[in-house]
Structures are given as C-alpha cells and as structure tokens.
Amino acid sequence: MLTLVALTLIWPSGDSNFEDPLLLDADPISATVVSDQLVPCYYDASQDCRLIGFEMLDGPFEGEFGTIEQGTTSPLDVGDGVIVVAYESADGDVQFSFQDYRRGWPMIILVALFVGAVLALGRWRGIGAIAGLGFSLIVITGFTLPAILDGTNAVTVALVTASLIAFAALFLAHGFEIATAVALLSTFGSLVITAVLARIFVGVTSLTGLTDDSSVLLGGLDNSIDPRGILLAGIVIGALGVLDDVTVTQVSAVWELKRARPEMTTVELMRPALRIGRDHISSTVNTLFLAYAGAALPLLLLFTEAGQGITGVLTREVVATEIVRALVGSIGLVASVPLSTWLAAVVVSGEPARHRH
C-alpha cells in the first residue's frame, strides 16, 4: 500500500520541457559503408584523411549516398553498419557525421541466447525471472526516468522504483510463497540501510555527482535535476540487484534446514545459515569490487600513466564515487545476511516445513 500511494503521489506529469539540443535537428540515419578512400584532409591538405562513403538505408535520404571524413586510425571499414546524423552547415549544405555503429542484430541474437539459457535451466522459474526483468525495464523507462526528469526527488523515485521491482522480480521468479515475502521484507530493510549510508557518505565525502560529460550536460540542461540525487538513486537501484540474490539465498537455506530437521529452534537454524551467508558474502563482495574495478579500468590506467600516486587517484571524485558506491553497497549486503537469516528463522519456526515447496 505504501508503494502504491507513493507511486500515485510522484507519478510523472509528462509535462517536462527537458530537451536534448544535440538531437533536435539530427535524427539518426542507418547506413552501410560502401567505400574508403585516402584523401587530403579538408582542414589541412598536408595531412591525409579517410573519406568514408556510405549508402543511407532510411530517413529522408534513403537510397542516397553521402561521405564523412575520418582520421587515418578510424576503425570504420567497408561493409560496416553505421548510424550517421545529418545537419545543415553555415553555407546551407547538408553534411553528415558519424554517430555510432549499428548493433541491432548482434544484440538481438545475444538476448535470444540469454533467454534460451535462462529458460533451459530455470524452466517455469526462468519464465518468471524473464518476466521480472521485463517488468524492471518497464518501470525504469516508464516511471523512473520520467519522474526524475519531472523534478521529483531522485532518492524517493529510486526507493519507489526498487520497491516495485522487488515485488515483481521476487514473486515472479520465486513464487507467491511465505519464503518469498520474507526475502522481500529483508530486501527492503537492507535497502533502507543502504540508502541511509549512501546519503551520509555522499554528503561527508562532498561528492557532487558530476563525474562524466553526461551528468554535467544533464545538470546544465535542466536545473531541477540534482546530480547528487541521481548518484544516490543509482546506488540504491544498483544495490537491489545483488541484495535480492543474497536474501533469497539465505531464506532458502533456512527453509531447507527446517525441512531437513523440523525440530531445530530459531537459534539452531541461524547458526548454520549464517555460515552459508558468510561464504556467500565473501564471494559477492569481491564480485562487486571487481565489477566496479573492471568498469573503471581505462580511467585507472590513465591515472597510472599520468604518474599519480595511489592516494591521489583514490580520492579523485570519479574514483571516489565508485569506492563509496561499492563500500556502501557492500555494507548493505553484509547487513542483509543476519537480517534475512533472523527473519526467516523466526517465521519458519512458527510455520510447518510443508509450506515451502
């Protein structure tokens, strides 16, 4: 009920005037590279550039050909599928620029492989997991992003988003059972701890949330959007994906222990379940740090190449942000183990083991 009430109160109005000026007159056009020639650069005839010719496949220039000039190290090659944008130059001519590669079909194939693998192993539970993932995408694109752009507090939006996703993801993937409800409550408690710690340490470490071009541009285009709030929201939503894994595992462990030995008391259930939780947390925390380190690897290499000391690197905002994100998320994970174990042990001790199927 609290989730539904909050959702109703902060539902985006759809009246946001936010616009990206970079895309106002530059609709993406699908194209295929058909030629590649080495020519003098238009801005400096003493240097060589590659003149890339392409055929446009859609948009107002469908079937026509265009060219873009690239440096000699450009990875573009004949046969590549690309996205270009058209714009009008100062003298009125239509010119084109390279925007990105076309990745539609490879990503569709990858999604199909992912769905097939999940369904092959999970079967009916796999269908629920896929449905939960689809619901998560719908919530984020249909509610979370519009609500933040509407000027609503980003942390509030993140908590409501996490609640909606947790309900759908857990019940669809693990069934409508008491154990799932216990895992859900444990996830909520851990999320609150994570959100409180994130707010405290983002504040005391003076993180601004302006760590990349996108966040700077977003803040410049719409003053109602708080970059620090978006950072906090990202920490909360990011923590949810790992928290539900830990809480479900702990609750399942307690239920299976009770099924194997129905005479076990609450305290007796907690001891072996906590040992399982310690092993799980050890690997999960390491995974979390390695994921953040892998994402920041190019940046870390750049700082190392510049000869900066380890202390200077770790306290730079772009790195400190990831450290705070990882540590706060890890503390939330650690807290979720005793919380979910205790709650599951208390509930299952008062329920017959047959309730878990």
Q: What is the pLDDT of residues 138-150, one digit of tens each?
A: 999 999 988 888 8
- Which residues, 6 or more positions from 108, have their beta carbon under 8 angstroms from its beta carbon? none
**pLDDT of res. 172:** 84
Nearest-angstrom CA–CA distance, 276 and 174: 20
Nearest-angstrom CA–CA distance, 89 and 337: 60
**pLDDT of res. 168:** 87
Nearest-angstrom CA–CA distance, 230 and 189: 21
Nearest-angstrom CA–CA distance, 282 and 274: 12
Nearest-angstrom CA–CA distance, 194 and 235: 8
**pLDDT of res. 125:** 78
Once rounded to an integer, what is the mean pLDDT over residues 148-163? Answer: 87
Nearest-angstrom CA–CA distance, 283 and 182: 23
pTM over 0.75: no
Residue with tokens 């390491």: 286
**pLDDT of res. 164:** 92
Residues 112-121 pLDDT 10s? 999 999 889 8
Q: How confident is the model at residue 223 (pLDDT cuts 50, 70, 90)?
A: low
- Candidate from 86-100, 172-186, 277-291 with smallest mean pLDDT: 277-291
pLDDT at residue 218 above 60? yes
Nearest-angstrom CA–CA distance, 355 and 153: 41
Domains of the chain: 21-102 (2.40.50), 106-355 (no CATH)
- Give the end-to-end CA distance of the chain in Å, rounded to a whole number: 27
**Pairing of β 81-88 and β 28-40:** antiparallel
- Candidate from 171-185, 192-206, 255-269, 299-313 with smallest mean pLDDT: 299-313
